[in-house]
Structure 1
Amino acid sequence: MRVRWDLLFADLAAQLDAAEAADAVQTIAELTRAEQATILLTDRLRAAVGALLDLHLVDGHGLTAEVRDVAPEWVLLAERSRQHVVPLTAIASISGLTRHAVAPTSRAEAGRSLGAALRALMRDRAPVRVRTRSGHSDGRIARVGRDHLDIEELSHEQGPGRAAREGRLVPFSALVCVSET
């Protein structure tokens, strides 16, 4: 009878150990899912700096480019000899990202808004192509507001050598990409 009781209690102990192991596995899985839920797109893009990615943008265009910089609202990409500032809201999907993520390293992220990046291009008077969901405009950024930019377009309608400047306002919500020309 003693052997039978020993086997009974050994079986109960084994069942308890198995239940505890299953609980530990379930707890680890829940913690992993909870941690993954805190990862931002910017964290994944930050881990891809230097990598070549395929981006599909909301206007239907694709862009295969190297990730150069990442900010809370935009990503800087390099494609051959041109660079592009792409608002994160203009990205429809990305291929080529790993599962890795990198958190921001400083509190300076707050000063790296889309407006700040566009104001830097405006100060440099850099010629740009501004792509929106409905087309594009070539020119220079003339003004940057809180939620929009004005692009000064070159109009050739007045004849050769007599080009005039025309302005176009582009809300950030319609912005797909600002590229070097």
Structure 2
Amino acid sequence: MKAEPDDPPDTVVVGRIGRPHGVRGEVTVEVRTDDPDLRFTPGALLRTDPADRGRLTVAGRRWHREVLLLQIEGVDTREAAELLRNTELLVPVAELPALDDPDVFYDHQLVGLRAQLPDGAGLGTVDAVRHEGADLLVVRRDEGGQLLVPFVTAIVPTVDLAGGFLVVDPPEGLLDL
């Protein structure tokens, strides 16, 4: 488990290691991918943040109720598993499958886009995407503060990745601070 100096900077988080499970080195994983059974297959190589934890290889995977448990190569004690707690698991953007639906986006594609009103007036920049029952865009307002925008077609009718912006057509009250 050593850091690789050639890791590409363009990565996305697919999970975060939580607490150890049992005494044989298994770890719980907070899943942040739509397809964990594909992403966390035995033999999968995952980058880490913090990067000094190196690359991790999945040795085994199983579900315990609704919690994903991973066995990582070289991690075979509870103490070793505890050292990985809060490690984010990353994959290069280039390894993500293409999206077939033009109205579906990866979170990393939305972060950094300029948010503007239908008349072109700027609102701010998308800082994050939260998934809390409904998808919410966290927009850092140009004049300070932040705005939570439901990411639904009725409110965000246009996403122009090439142009670097999205349009927010707010219902009454959405922009009130």
Give the structure-1-normalised TM-score. Answer: 0.28
The answer to which structure has the higher helix fraction is 1
> Rg: which structure is higher?
1
